[in-house]
Amino acid sequence: MDSQAGALVPGNGSALAGPRRRGRPRSARAEQAILASALALVAERGPEGLGIEQVAARAGVGKATIYRRWPGKEDMLLDAIASLGSDLPVPQGRSVRADLVALLISFSREAADPRRARLFALLQGEGVRYPRLLARYTEAVVRPRQAVVASVLRRGLATGELREDTDIEAATFLLNGAVLASMSGHEHVDARYARRVVEELMRGLAAR
């Protein structure tokens, strides 16, 4: 285990992220390697099994390089989890059906990554003990994806592609739930899966 400086604090109710400390210019390459290594290790071992020494070794940096950026491993993990929220696909606006299929294909590809699936499962299980980590995952990954799906559905209401009484919130949860179900291993995740899910949803939502 690491020293207290690198320990996770279960149930810490402090803000999700504090101000970054000033110091020497950062190496973007080193930081990316550290965050990627942290994600890989936490997926393998869980938050309790993660150590600064192991992250440093896998990333090919010294421990001092990590401590210059983060005061401890929980803060490092918060930034690592936040990095998962990048590269959201941009809806093209041609049709609700096409945009939803494209979004679900993208989300399902992410879900097919065993490290992401393992991390999600771990965070769900450790959410009570480490609420900051689960909150950051929700903030960085879950909510942006829900928001982009909801925006496509709202556009469909405006263009008349969807029924006027469409429940946007419920439809959004259904689509995201399909991705979560795929992460549990019950479905083979591919483009056909995404199209099946969207086609079934559109049977009920499409304007007659």
- pLDDT tens per residue, range 152-171: 999 999 999 999 999 999 99
pLDDT above 70: percentage of residues in the chain: 83
Give the C-alpha separation, 80 to 153, whole Å: 30
Residues 161 and 180 in one domain: yes
Residues 101 and 198 in one domain: yes
Residues 123 and 174 in one domain: yes
The CATH number for 150's domain is: 1.10.357.10
Residues 199 and 127 in one domain: yes
Residues 99 and 183 in one domain: yes
Q: What is the mean pLDDT of residues 25-46?
A: 87
pLDDT on residue 40: 92
The CATH number for 49's domain is: 1.10.10.60
**Does the pLDDT at position 42 exceed 50?**
yes
- The set of long-range contacts for 25-34, using a CB threshold of 8 Å and a minimum separation of 24, is 26/69, 30/59, 30/61, 30/65, 31/69, 33/59, 33/60, 33/61, 34/59, 34/61, 34/65, 34/66, 34/69, 34/76, 34/80
pLDDT on residue 77: 92
Q: What is the mean pLDDT of residues 138-156?
A: 92
pLDDT on residue 66: 95
This prediction has a pTM of 0.75
Residues 31 and 71 in one domain: yes
Decide: 189 and 109 in contact? Cβ < 8 Å: yes
Task: Identify the domain boundary among 24, 50, 83.
Answer: 83
Residues 157 and 70 in one domain: no
Task: Identify the domain boundary among 83, 109, 128.
Answer: 83
Residues 110 and 158 in one domain: yes
pLDDT above 90: percentage of residues in the chain: 40
Residues 108 and 126 in one domain: yes
Give the C-alpha separation, 68 to 106, whole Å: 35
Residues 110 and 67 in one domain: no
Look at the chain and report how many structural domains it folds into.
2
Residues 144 and 186 in one domain: yes
Note down the domain range covering 164: 89-205
Task: Identify the domain boundary among 83, 115, 148.
Answer: 83
Residues 73 and 96 in one domain: no
- pLDDT tens per residue, range 160-207: 999 999 999 999 999 888 887 766 655 566 788 888 889 989 988 888
Q: What is the mean pLDDT of residues 42-68?
A: 92
Question: Alpha helix (H) ranges present in 50-113?
Answer: 52-59, 63-69, 73-82, 96-112
Decide: 104 and 181 in contact? Cβ < 8 Å: no
